[in-house]
């Protein structure tokens, strides 16, 4: 039987073999939630980029540039890291180059070796689980965390996904057992539970409560987002 492992921070990634696995990358607040919102709004693809300068250079190649650092839109960028902004503006058909504090870095770290990369978010949780169930591959869920540290929201999402994949996959890795239990014990009060998360509190100071609510909505969408080459899109 195939297995699901959870890596709780990109800093721990070297301890996991991610070759030939389905890797699900999650950054609930807010990069991966924003990617799903952008794709839903009609953006054709998203190119994750490590640094602001590289990202900025894609503007002359026709990309919409999205840059965020420490929760704020970076100077000179057209978009920051707000999912709600994509729902409110029309960027249909545009390609986006995106760089964020944690999420896009996590994607960059895994993109060479994984068999496939899916973008995880609560807003498309069940669709991602259904896609994984069609594949005969081990799964590694990589939590983007916050500047290398563990965070609650990415970890509990990982537990939610493991819970959906059980019993079709082995969930015997200790971090998977822990996060699956954490999710199952708190799924009835997820918003309240994650309201305590340091990341949610930090972002509240930026006055983006609507983003937080969006990121915690489960199964708003029924599509998956997948890496194809260097870009993320909705598979045909
Ligand atoms: O913009 C965000 O929500 C965060 C900012 S910070 O890490 O909390 O400063 O970036 P992300 O890459 O989406 O975690």
Residues 6+ apart with CB under 8 A from 54: 99
Annotated domain spans of the chain: 4-228
* CA–CA distance, 78 with 55 (Å, rounded to integer): 11
Q: Which of 102, 178, 152, 138 is nearest to 19 (CA)?
A: 138
Q: How far is the CA of 102 from the centre of ligand 1 (A)?
A: 6
**pLDDT tens digits, 151-168:** 999 999 999 999 999 999
Which ipTM score applies to this complex? Answer: 0.95
79 beta partners: 66
pLDDT in tens, the chain (236 residues): 999 999 999 999 999 988 889 999 999 999 999 999 999 999 999 999 999 999 999 999 999 999 999 999 999 999 999 999 999 989 999 999 999 999 999 998 888 877 899 999 999 999 999 999 999 999 999 999 999 999 999 999 999 999 999 999 999 999 999 999 999 999 999 999 998 888 878 877 777 889 999 999 999 999 999 999 999 999 99
Q: How far is the CA of 134 from the centre of ligand 1 (A)?
A: 31
For 4-228, CATH number? 3.90.1560.10
pTM of the model: 0.96
Buried b (16+ CB within 10 A) or exposed e, 54-69: ebbebeeeebbbbbbb
- C-beta 100 within 6 A of ligand 1: yes
């Amino acid at each position: 039987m195939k297995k699901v492992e959870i890596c709780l921070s990109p800093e721990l990634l070297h301890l996991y073999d991610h070759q030939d696995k389905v890797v699900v990358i999650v950054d609930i607040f807010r990069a991966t939630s924003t990617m799903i919102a952008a794709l839903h709004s009609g953006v054709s693809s998203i190119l994750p980029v490590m640094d602001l300068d590289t990202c900025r250079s894609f503007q002359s190649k026709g990309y919409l540039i999205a840059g965020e650092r420490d929760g704020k839109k970076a100077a000179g960028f057209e978009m920051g890291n707000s999912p709600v902004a994509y729902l409110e503006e029309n960027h249909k058909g545009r390609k986006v180059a995106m760089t964020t504090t944690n999420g896009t870095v996590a994607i960059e770290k895994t993109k060479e070796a994984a068999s496939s990369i899916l973008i995880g978010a609560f807003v498309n949780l069940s669709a991602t689980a259904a896609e994984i169930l069609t594949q005969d591959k081990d799964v590694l869920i990589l939590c983007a965390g916050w500047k290398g540290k563990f965070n609650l929201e990415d970890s509990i999402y990982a537990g939610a996904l493991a819970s959906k994949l059980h019993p079709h996959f082995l969930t015997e890795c200790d971090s998977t057992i822990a996060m699956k239990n954490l999710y199952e014990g708190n799924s009835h009060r997820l918003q309240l539970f994650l309201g305590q998360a340091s990341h949610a509190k930090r972002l509240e100071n930026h006055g983006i409560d609507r983003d937080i609510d969006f990121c915690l909505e489960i199964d708003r969408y029924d599509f998956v987002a997948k890496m194809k080459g260097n870009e993320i899109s909705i598979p045909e």
